[in-house]
Amino acid sequence: MLPLAPNHFSSHTDSRERRTEIISTIEGKVVAITGASSGIGEAAARLLAERGAKVVVGARRSERLEKLVAAIPAKNGEARFRTLDVTSREDMKAFMDFGKAGFGHVDVLVNNAGIMPLSPMTALKVDEWDRMIDVNIRGVLNGIAAVLPDMKARGSGHIVNYPPW
């Protein structure tokens, strides 16, 4: 989490307590999740929607997002999806604008999209390294840049960066 208060540092215990507090008070909050078509992102979307959050999910695989969003109302949740390429600053901004258009604002961004190519370093798959940097680092920064100005203007918000490694 990246609190908006300046110079805010917390201990590991405080951080764990804060996460529990956020989960218990998530009802009605708008949560945007990248990398939500599978794995932790998908599970987070299901859990948060079940607990009353309005979720906006994005990833490259739109057919999986469509199925996820179709399943969420059965658990009394609300969800919207948009195909998303986190490596594109413009696409990430459009994703946040999509969330705001649907639900008024975004309270939480979960930067979850990530890739981790598996090969020995000696294979020198430099193109895979470049793609990993684009998704895992630039994607996170693009998300922060897309949501932080609105969060600052509203005086509230949380950014959760969940690394893929």
Q: What is the pLDDT of residues 131-148, one digit of tens each?
A: 999 999 999 999 999 999
**pLDDT at 3 > cutoff 50:** no
Identify whether 74 is part of a domain.
yes
Instruction: Say what the pLDDT of residue 73 is.
Output: 84
Does residue 1 form part of some domain?
no
* Structural domain span for residue 48: 26-161
Residue 35 falls within a domain, yes or no? yes
Compute the average pLDDT of residues 72-97.
93
Domain at 127, CATH number: 3.40.50.720
CB 149 within 8 A of CB 159: no
Q: When comparing pLDDT for 64 and 24, which is higher? A: 64
pLDDT value at position 107?
Answer: 97
* Residue 100 located in a structural domain: yes
Q: Is residue 119 part of a domain?
A: yes
What mean pLDDT value characterizes the chain?
88
More confident residue, 109 or 165: 109
Domains: count for the chain:
1
Residue 22 has a pLDDT of: 53
Residue with tokens 């945007």: 32
Q: Is residue 7 part of a domain?
A: no
**pLDDT value, residue 8:** 40
Which pLDDT band, with edges at 50, 70 and 90, does 21 fall under? Answer: low
Which residues touch 68 (CB under 8 Å, ≥6 apart)? Answer: 36, 37, 42, 45, 46, 57, 79, 81
- Confidence category of residue 16, pLDDT binned at 50, 70, 90: low
- Whether residue 76 is predicted with pLDDT greater than 80 in this model: the reply is no
Q: Is the pLDDT of residue 14 over 80?
A: no
User: Of all residues in the chain, what percent carry a pLDDT higher than 90?
Assistant: 78
Residue 18 falls inside a structural domain: no
Cα(108)–Cα(117) distance, integer angstroms: 28
In a domain, 5, yes or no: no
